[in-house]
């Protein structure tokens, strides 16, 4: 997943930011965010959880999923 996330992060760097949580060293956050599988994506907007999803996706699908949660139209 790292190459996919890196590609999306670079392409949309002016739109949203990725942050990584190491579930092995942050077990309290794993419980706080109810992370049960990896990769888990939690999308925040204005400091609040806007949505979440689990699973590997290709570059286009990952970007579309995040943009959809954030309600951002790529054509704007």
**How is residue 13 written in tokens?**
């760097």
Mean pLDDT, the chain, whole residue set: 94
Measured from the Cβ of residue 11, the count of other Cβ atoms closer than 10 Å reads 11
Domains detected in the chain: 2-69 (3.40.30.10)
Confidence of residue 76 (pLDDT cuts 50, 70, 90): low
Which stretches does DSSP call E strand in the chain? 40-45, 48-54
Instruction: Report which DSSP code applies to 19.
Output: -
pLDDT, one tens digit per residue, over 30-55 is: 999 999 999 999 999 999 999 999 99
Tokens of 74: 């790529």
Q: Tokens standing for 14?
A: 């002016």
pLDDT at 1: 74
| Pairwise CA distance, residues 64 & 60, whole Å | 6
CA pair distance 46, 52, nearest whole angstrom: 15
């Amino acid at each position: 997943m790292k190459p996919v996330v890196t590609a999306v992060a670079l392409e949309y760097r002016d739109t949203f930011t990725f942050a990584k949580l190491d579930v092995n060293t942050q077990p309290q956050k794993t419980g706080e965010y109810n992370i049960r599988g990896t990769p888990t994506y939690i999308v925040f907007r204005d400091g609040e959880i806007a949505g979440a999803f689990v699973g590997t996706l290709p570059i286009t699908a990952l970007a579309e999923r995040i943009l959809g949660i954030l309600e951002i139209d790529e054509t704007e």
